[in-house]
Structure 1
Amino acid sequence: MNVDFEKKPFSDKNADLKVYFADTEQDWSRQFEQLEAKFEFQNENMKAEINRLRMAEVENKNIRVKHEGEINQLKTAVQQISNEIARLNVRALHRRVMLDKIRDKLVDKGVIPDDFKPTQNSNTLNRIVPLVIQGLNRNTHGLEMLSPPAIRAIFDTNLNTLRNDGNDVAHNASEKDIAEAVLDSRLTETDRENAKELFMWLNDGRKPTLQRNA
Structure 2
Amino acid sequence: MTQAPAIQADAYFFDIDGTLLVTRDLVQWNALHQAMLEVFGVDTTIEGLPYHGKTDVAILRAAVARCGVTPSIFDAGIEQTLAVVRREVRANAEAIVPEVCPAIPELLSQVSLRNKLLGVASGNLEAVGWSKLTSAGLRKFFAMGSFGDACELRTAIFDNAVAMARKLIGSGCTVCFIGDTPDDILAARYVNAKVVAVSTGTFEVSELSRLNPDACCRSCADLLGRLQ
TM-score, normalising length from structure 2? 0.24
| Greater share of residues in strand | 2
Greater RCO, 1 or 2 (C-alpha within 8 Å, sep 6+): 2
TM-score, normalising length from structure 1? 0.25
